[in-house]
Structure 1
């Protein structure tokens, strides 16, 4: 990636400036079976879902190895130390409810596995060609899959070295054996993309990993032809003269060289392992509309012209499975507005099977020297909120792991709270088929939680399972599984049986559990039969009225009325809608963490608000439920069932922040433990 090492090696300062600056200006009881439920995934299409808890969303982070940016933290670590560090990165991904890691395994014509084509990477031991004492790629894939994280193997196709001295390379390095393949440019060595033998070699070098390891995707960043540097253009004129017949310009020939790399690699991957995806994370701008009417309304560096990456064509031709443009600018940037670029890329993938992810500049959030916008803890989370208005965007990848861990100004925590509150399944790919539903054989409460066991379905290829927990007893509706509100997590399949322990189950709560099966491309089966585990506590229910002493708080902006007879108690509170943070709150003391049903009471009126926002402070974050207070009043209305924490606190709020007209009303709530 243009930002993976340029910021760390002084000799690459110009490349970093071009890529990040010149491109655009800176600115206990046994379980009992419930009624069997089969919940077809297709039945969920008409369900109303919560955009804050999407069922499918790829969430990843780049783990860069070049220059020891992320992992290993330095060269020469013992195998056990390297492995401990890597497990720490996977622990971080799980803590942030991510489901993928993108790990750099071929940073510079070298390898993080015992390659038959290229030497061991210097970033492991400090010396290129030195065996680290174990197989890092085999270890990394196994550890990721043990946590059911997708493993995207990140390769750089053409970079040979971050210097220009061939003699510094390992004696067995292909560039030393074939010196005519290498080009020195802007202080670095590159394989020449215009030589057909080079293109075939780098594909074979990468396919060695595809064939030998259980990776989920081949991932490339934005390095194809190098970014423009000082001292003239890339010196391949002689290669153009030799191989460029039929192309009127060297630019068209270079683009064709990269197109061939992409298309041929796609074909080789599909022939070997059809389930392995090819994904590319290009520079965020293809072309500007001022140059090409098909381009974006931007004025930055154009990857089509500067690095000869015709990314739009790769998408439109279906040569890649996903595209993850590096949209590293803030919302409203004068030359490269994030909002404009997500619009443009969303339109570009429309009509194709290519999945759209967004490369997020997490490294900029709260970092010194960045635009003022990046000092706002809300900038990064606002990106993902904006993404919701573009349904073709199916996830994000954060650069890089150390910045996710640093969490400067709390920006990553904001993203996790606002968007990664629940786990998520990865987006389903093209091809493959959903397996048969598993059979949930038992759900038993013990000292460590509720342990589930199941048997694999009779047909289909099962790669993983998704585990759901619904509060209370009763029938299961298809919409209960339409988003991730009830998704507990996923586990990798192994053998014909599976198990999962829900360590978060509250002792006093009753739950229904279900399991689905997923194939390698994440197609989901119908749900298993449901199993009910009953709670051990007694029934708890509390009503909080707007007049309950110590149980209700509201600012003086909230009026009091007893006009409507369908009120609860003597009166109720009301306020005009306005874009301000001014909620009225109902507080309660809950005896234990667990599952609770939340109900509300209000006197309905045709002039009241049609989308009154109720706020429920659940154990995993605040949930907003909008209620039409024009109808259904004078009775208890169920907002939903939620996992709530124990203690005394504000549980339900009524917000004024709504764009619809009419008073919002706060009258009473009832909270019942299930």
Structure 2
């Protein structure tokens, strides 16, 4: 770091550095994607890229995509058939691996991918004969209950609970997923005049329970707790989140409940969502708060208060489900969604939001989404740091800082290049840009004012072009590394880019110890000596605090003359080597190509590296 700036040391709540941002992408009934069944693989992939590009444009950092909508799969599952939403025919091969493609494309945009699965829904009709012949529901008819015109697996059967977990864990085991996500469907919502016919299961497995309702809640609790344990055993870094109905219980029924008077998920669908949080079986909870502030039966403000109190003292993140699909309805004027996020400033327990659903986000009815983005997503944001389930420390080690190797002005902006610290494998990088040539005090990292972008790691380093950099303006760039839990490293040495030109420094990296000799014009790098071996830093004509790395690659074994050119004045353009350029090599004895400003001569007598 060079110098101290004068930026404000107060974090701006309107520009949070950490905030979960995303939307649900529903596949059931082709609600969002694919737009219709039977599209070609190219058309499906183009639509999917469009959704992911939209998420990136809105400065989201996650997408929650439904990959197991109805006891089927959007990947080649050994447990369940291909989903009919892809081809129009259950079991029909789509011609590619949708989940594999989704993982690759989401991560290329540095978007988290949460795999959304529905545990128990089998079909949106009640005829088992319409299922593909080898469907598990046809092979095990005793597992299935028809209710209100639909088919469901029976949550009361241990074999069913084990099977649905196996089916979902197959995706976890074979794909680089960031989270497993469940929605609010466990036991079905009650329908007048209908009964869920699980009396036989209750007789077989309900010993010790004094009511059918208590046994049903126990069955759902078992599913959640067992999946939590199994997920942790397979891939402890993959998070587990559930999006329940927004009301647990009303205070009139239970003093622990919220000051509401709506449907109670604890009683109606046997979902004890409060217990899942207090037991810390899950990593995050996304209650569907699909009402407006001041709603007479389910006031959004009251429910945010209640859920914030519920997660307090736990490691469970609160991410609120937003009713984007209701924009324009009663109480949902164009500013309502933005008011929701403004309210969250008073509740630090709220770590972000999910919009339902993709098509409504894209439609941007009445400009509500544009308003939300302008007022709350004006800067990028890092996802919240992911704590371990049950309050356990998250696995892994906070990454070491990366090193910026070049900051080069190009016709399209400023290109940044950097390398990860030796022996580290960051998941992604955060790029910061401060105005001017002084590095600000550490509060530069307190909010997102200077967060430029995030970039997914693809190897030992990365690159990014800052297309918003103004010609003639000076900037200071910093890069940090993030791991799978989004823990952030300290920043590496800053790169200062002077107005109108490149910052400049040169380090020659010798990968063969003793292979190079250098005069006093070169100084040994103290901060990086252990990284590459004998490294030499050119220290004239200006002090070097922003190293630009490159490796001298010689064409053949023998003695060589290596000429390094640099700008004659700070901010100028050197010929032929400036920051980020390749060195110029000439064999000893060939004519001098032009003016050298302080370059050194040295010999290499071993095999070139």
Shared topology, TM-score over 0.5?
yes
1:63-462 matches, within 5 Å, as 63-366=25-328, 370-371=329-330, 373-374=331-332, 376-430=333-387, 431-432=394-395, 433-458=397-422, 460-462=424-426
- 1:238 CA drift (Å): 1.2
Contact 2:425 2:459 in 1 (8 A): no
Match of 2:177, SS?
A: coil
Match of 1:218, SS?
A: strand
Deviations 1:36-73 (A, max 9, x none): 99x9xxxx9x9411111100000010000001110000
2:404, 2:87 → 1: CA distance? 47
2:340, 2:147 → 1: CA distance? 36
1:498, 1:316 → 2: CA distance? 40
Contact 2:38 2:86 in 1 (8 A): yes
Question: Runs of at least 4 residues of structure 1 off by over 4 A?
Answer: none
1:271, 1:437 → 2: CA distance? 30
1:210, 1:138 → 2: CA distance? 12
The equivalent of 1:488 in structure 2 is: 452
The equivalent of 2:563 in structure 1 is: none
1:572-583 matches, within 5 Å, as none
- 1:448 CA drift (Å): 1.3
1:414, 1:385 → 2: CA distance? 12
Deviations 1:66-102 (A, max 9, x none): 0111000000000000000000001111111100000
The equivalent of 2:523 in structure 1 is: none
Deviations 1:205-244 (A, max 9, x none): 0000000000100000000000001223311111101100
Deviations 1:278-322 (A, max 9, x none): 000000000000000000000000000011110000000000000
Deviations 1:544-582 (A, max 9, x none): xxxxxxxxxxxxxxxxxxxxxxxxxxxxxxxxxxxxxxx
1:491, 1:75 → 2: CA distance? 33
Structure 2 segments unaligned to the other structure (5+ residues): 388-393, 502-609
2:353, 2:487 → 1: CA distance? 20
Structure 1 segments unaligned to the other structure (5+ residues): 1-33, 538-674
The alignment of Structure 1 onto Structure 2 pairs a total of residues equal to 493
Structure 2 CA distance for partners of 1:460 and 1:496, relative to 1, 3 Å: closer
Deviations 1:110-153 (A, max 9, x none): 00000000000000000000000000000001100000000000
Contact 1:186 1:230 in 2 (8 A): no
- 1:392 CA drift (Å): 0.4
2:230, 2:425 → 1: CA distance? 23
1:390, 1:138 → 2: CA distance? 37
The equivalent of 2:494 in structure 1 is: 530
- 1:476 CA drift (Å): 2.6
Deviations 1:239-281 (A, max 9, x none): 1011001111111110010001001101111111111000000
TM-score by length of 1: 0.72
1:429-578 matches, within 5 Å, as 429-430=386-387, 431-432=394-395, 433-458=397-422, 460-536=424-500
Q: Which one has the bigger strand percentage?
A: 1
The equivalent of 1:3 in structure 2 is: none
2:57, 2:69 → 1: CA distance? 27
Contact 2:425 2:460 in 1 (8 A): no
2:473, 2:149 → 1: CA distance? 64
Match of 2:421, SS?
A: coil
Match of 1:404, SS?
A: helix
- 1:324 CA drift (Å): 0.3
2:461, 2:313 → 1: CA distance? 39
- 1:418 CA drift (Å): 0.5
Match of 1:450, SS?
A: strand
Match of 1:200, SS?
A: helix
TM-score by length of 2: 0.80
Match of 1:452, SS?
A: strand
1:115, 1:330 → 2: CA distance? 40
1:343, 1:461 → 2: CA distance? 39
Match of 1:293, SS?
A: coil
Structure 2 CA distance for partners of 1:459 and 1:428, relative to 1, 3 Å: farther
Match of 1:269, SS?
A: helix
1:47, 1:207 → 2: CA distance? 45
Contact 1:378 1:414 in 2 (8 A): yes
